[in-house]
Every structure is written in structure tokens, then in C-alpha cells.
Amino acid sequence: MNYSTAKTRRRTWAWSKRGLVIPTPTGQPWAHSHAALPAVERVTGNTIDLLYSPRDAEGRAHVARAHLEVTPTGDLTLLGHDLRPVLSPGQLGAFDDSGVTMSCVVETEQATFLYYTGWTLGITVPFYFYGGLAVRPRGQHDFRRVSPAPILERNAIDPYLTASPWVLYEDGKWRMWYVSCTRWETVDGAARHFYHVRYAESKDGIHWQRDGRVAIDFADEHEYAISRPCVVRDEDCYRMWFASRGDHYRLGYAESPDGLNWHRDDDRACVEPSEEGWDAEMVAYPAVLEASGRRYMLYNGNGYGKSGIGYAIDEGAG
């Protein structure tokens, strides 16, 4: 199929919210609070290996692994957690010494690529973060950083910060949708970031060509943060779910015939805050996956993951 000319089918989404699947705290000594930014590592039969980011007592994020099961009714249940982190903050002075937050996983015949965001603290602005990468060769157990430096360092195209790389490997090409900061401003006496989603390509998944192409831009003057893109390639088009922020984070949605030109249609995201409870204040950081013949969305609620990870099941008509 030619994805540059294919006509997008207007899919009907009917997400049924099922509540928390990973509450916090989760019990690991390095997981004092939060369970943020879920990303699927692997789906095997009715078992899902899920990566996400809890925070330690110092507020530094790590990458953790949980194991979920799809029950006969289609619900998700938590089987347990690994006892040690998959990835921890980097060495003192490195771009990720203040935390590592999960982004996405790509598996090839040779290795598994774990893309993440590395954090450092700032002075004139509260933080800096950049896209990083750890790789696990086939047959090995542990992920190791490809470099002590980020793979998305700031440059003339992205002069402030980068984050949340979502990567697809298809037809021999590596494609990335990532967060880029356009500017900082002082708002009500504090520094406020403005970032949206851009696009990049690579020949090896490590070295990326960036030209500033914008995938998802700000909807209006009130929106200032578009974060955590999740891109799915379906038969008829590419679909993207993301978090967008004005007063509070909400979920957004867009479609594209080729992964380059996107039509934003947030009304079709179809997962709104609840009237009360763990996701009443915000919904954010979506990750959409297929398991046991169903499509699921994992997402965070209040407090940027402080209230845990919940999920919804698509019960749409197609």
C-alpha cells in the first residue's frame, strides 16, 4: 500500500475505562512514588511486559518492569514487578543524572532498543532533558547505554531540549516522533516551557537526521506542552495519541497517511478525566497496544503518574 496516497478510514473509537492496573507505590525500594509513562516491552500470548518510570525517595525517575496478564474477559491484571530497575539515573554530571523516564521500545532481529528521556536540573530554568538510548543485544538480559551522551542533544534545530522519542522501524527505515522545546517564557514569575512534536529519521536507530519538521503543533495560544507521542501504524494510516496541556493535561489524537502530514482531531481521543478518583484531574502519557486480539490504551492520571497507571479497552465498531 502507498501510505502517501492511501485514504484514511475514519475509525470509531470507544474506549472503555477499566481503572488502575498499577497503583503506587509499587513496593520496590527505588520506587518511592509514581508509576509514569507506560511503554510495552513485549507481548507474549496473554502476557504483557510493561516498562514505566517510578521515582525514588530523592525524586529521581528509574525505569521499572511490570508483568501484566490479559484475563479471559479481556481485563488486565498485575502479576508482579522485577526486583531491580531496568535502567537507573546516569553518572554524576551526565545528561541523565537526575532521572530516566520511559519512552518506547523497538525490537529488531539483532537487539532491543530502549528509548528514554534523561533529566538534569537547571538554575535559570528548572530542568533540562534530552532523548537517550540503551540497547540489549539479542540473547542478553541487561540494557546498556549506547553512549554517556544523549542521542538527541540540543543543536541549531532543537536548541532547548528534546524528549519522549517514539520510534518505529519499518521497511529498513528508522522513524521518530519526539518532543522539542521551542522556547521558555517567564509566566507568573516562573519559567514555562513550550514544546511540541517533531519528526526525524535514521539509518541505524542511533544517529538521527533532524530538519525541524513539525508533526503536531500547538492548537491555540493557551496550549504550551504537547508530550509523549505514541504512534501506531495501522493498515490504512498512521495514528498518534499524545498528551497536550493548557490548564491540565488531556489526550489528543491525530492521523496521517504517511507519518509526515498529520490531521489533528482531539475530539476522537475519547478518553476524558473521570468525575472523581485517580484520573479526575488529568489524563496523560498514552501508550496504545494490541494484545489477545484487543486494542488497549495505558495512561496516567493525576499528578503526572503519582496516582498510577490505568487502562482502557477499545470497544469501537471499527
Handedness of CA 302, 303, 308, 312 (dihedral sign): positive
For residue 316, the model assigns a pLDDT of: 77
For residue 28, the model assigns a pLDDT of: 84
Look at strands 162-170 and 190-202 and give their pairing. unpaired
CA–CA separation, 40 and 67 (whole Å): 10
Cell numbers given for 84: 531491580
Q: What is the C-alpha radius of gyration for the chain, rounded to an integer number of angstroms? A: 18
CA–CA separation, 130 and 148 (whole Å): 12
CA angle, 87 as apex, 85 and 89 as ends, to 5°?
A: 110
For residue 81, the model assigns a pLDDT of: 95
- Residues 24-56 have pLDDT tens digits of 988 888 999 999 999 999 999 999 999 999 999
For residue 12, the model assigns a pLDDT of: 67
CA–CA separation, 206 and 228 (whole Å): 19
DSSP annotation of 310 reads E
The answer to whether the predicted template modeling score (pTM) of the entire model surpasses 0.85 is: yes
- Residues 252-271 have pLDDT tens digits of 999 999 999 999 999 887 89
pLDDT digit of tens for each residue in the chain (318 aa)? 333 334 445 666 789 999 999 999 888 889 999 999 999 999 999 999 999 999 999 999 999 999 999 999 999 999 999 999 999 999 999 999 999 999 999 999 999 999 999 999 999 999 999 999 999 999 899 999 999 999 999 999 999 999 999 999 998 899 999 999 999 999 999 999 999 999 999 999 999 999 999 999 999 999 999 999 999 999 999 999 999 998 889 999 999 999 999 999 998 878 999 999 999 999 999 999 999 999 999 999 999 999 999 999 998 755
User: Which domains are assigned to the chain?
Assistant: 15-23+90-314 (2.115.10.20)
